[in-house]
Chains A and B, each alone.
Chain A
Amino acid sequence: MHKVIIPIGPQHPALKEPESFRVVLSGEKILEFGYRLGYNHRGIEKACEARTYIQNIYLTERICGICSHSHSSCFIQAVEEIAGLQVPRRALYIRTIVAELERIHSHLLWLGVAGHEIGFDTLFMYSWRDREVVMDLLAVITGNRVNYGINTVGGVRRDVTPEQAKEILKGMDILEDRTKYYAEIATQETTVIKRLSGVGILSHDDAIRLGAVGPTARASDVRRDTRKDDPYAAYGELDFKVITDTHNDVYGRTIVRVGELMESYKMIRQLLKNLPDGPITVKAPRRIPAGEAIGRYEAPRGEDVHYVKANGTDKPERVKVRAPTLANIQAVSKMLENRLLADLPIIIAAIDPCFSCTDRLTAIKDVEGGAQGTMEWEDLHTYSIRWYRDRGIEFGAANKKLSAMMEGKK
């Protein structure tokens, strides 16, 4: 049959983030799936090298808007390991509480997005309404709804008061009820089961071979969870199960995430019950001694890895980030093999992709000549001005016009 190549993105109404996919179709069937990362490259790793460790906490937090605590905790764990800091137990517990609240908010968000992608917008509306409960809790504890800024080198910045603990427990009760309801929907609503079963199959062996992480791997019955495999923060002292499923498809990924929500509520109750007394920070040096370390952290989407190299100054020499989506995106090609084009949005959404986190590099290629090269900031700037000027757009003039209009209004 005649082959058709469809480019999806980087600017596409169905995508939440700019990323380019190339789908080779035969009729409705997907023969080949290619992706090109790099449209969201922001140069965060390089920027880390020019900032102090304290400033980098806030910078790494902004790698991702949803798993922001994951990235900053992962970074800080590596820094604390190099500096040899003994973080107080209370601080570790508070970090874990925020981490689990973040997982709850991320999984509820995913449930809504998945509902939206399969056309079940009712589920999307209700799960996002319930997500507000946990967002408000995060605002109360940390002072922000997103980008919590709770971490600092050697501990956390804010304590959890007994009143706040009570508020969290109350929120957990509400959310547990709601999650039980969603579990019922996921297992009993025919349309959901029929739409998701057998879609995006990733076998157990393929999940291991392609290095899938997080709920994507666990839905293929791979018991891979950094919280259990290499316990950090307070996870070593908690009693929780690693949720796995044998469905191997998008339906399995839904069950795993809903199951993980229930485990998170359990964990938060344990954490608040056993919250140790004591200080929440330990004095940390501004200059971190030379050394290198790797931070591992189970973000809501999977294992997050940060490599930090220190050189004895107050700025790191190198920071490398491996976001969970980079590990999972390889598996998407396998999941899409011989599937229909209509399954593409939900299969991509099922790994809970975050392309901004993933983009660590942009390669600029001359389309005609095929030559590759590097461009400095100044070159890029002049290049962009020239590019627009060739097309008759003058930004300086447009700016002047705009400000003249603003002045005229007053």
Chain B
Amino acid sequence: MIRPGKMIQQVLSSIFKKPATTRYPYVKASMPGHFRGKIKFNPEKCIGCMMCMRDCPSKAITIKKVGDKKFEAEFDLGRCIYCAQCVDSCLKKALEYTNEFELASLDRKKLKVTFHAEPDKGPETKA
């Protein structure tokens, strides 16, 4: 039947429903498990082939040699486009993605994340 106000039924029934929007940031939002968020680096697996640096579309990673077979990575979260190509490029699976996505900062220095290589103890992450 052709008539105006065709959606009125739907609109009225929505009054009694829960809102479709969520109350973010008061209610935490979660991303699916395979979400490409902040990148994590495991220094003990890195062999320093620099493939991630070569493939990164936005030059967000810098791998530095800090000792004999020891490497540390510096990420610039401001440059990173979160495509996780570095995770695919890494031959030794030293890089992995996490579903962390709330990374905004007012300070540019805080956007630089360094994963230090520790000589004897396990890897320590300093953000």
Contacts and interface: CB of A to CB of B under 8 A. Distances in A.
B20 A143 contact: no
Nearest to A189: B6
A374 interface: no
B85 A149 contact: yes
- Report, as a range, how many residues of chain B touch the other chain: 20 to 34
B57 A190 contact: no
A58 B85 contact: yes
- Report, as a range, how many residues of chain A touch the other chain: 20 to 34
B35 to A, nearest CB: 5
A316 to B, nearest CB: 14
A189 B4 contact: yes
Nearest to A186: B6
Interface string B66-86: 000000000000000111110
A51 B57 contact: yes
Contact of B83 (A58, A139, A158, A190): A58
B127 interface: no
Interface in B82-100: 82-85, 88-89, 97
A122 interface: yes
Query: Which one of A144, A184, A185, A191 has the greatest number of beta carbons of chain B within 10 Å?
Result: A144
Contacts of A184: 6
Contacts of B4: 189-191
Nearest to B11: A122
A80 B114 CA distance: 37
A159 B6 CA distance: 42
Contacts of A59: 57
A372 interface: no
Interface of A: 51-52, 54-55, 58-59, 62, 122-123, 126, 129, 132, 136, 139-140, 143-144, 147, 149, 152, 157-158, 181, 184-185, 188-191, 193, 406
Given A54-B57, A55-B56, A193-B2, 17 more contacts: A51-B57, A52-B54, A55-B55, A58-B57, A58-B83, A58-B85, A62-B81, A122-B11, A126-B7, A136-B32, A139-B32, A140-B32, A158-B34, A189-B3, A189-B5, A191-B4, A406-B106
14 contacts: A54-B55, A54-B57, A55-B85, A62-B81, A140-B34, A143-B34, A143-B35, A143-B97, A144-B36, A147-B83, A158-B34, A185-B7, A188-B1, A190-B2
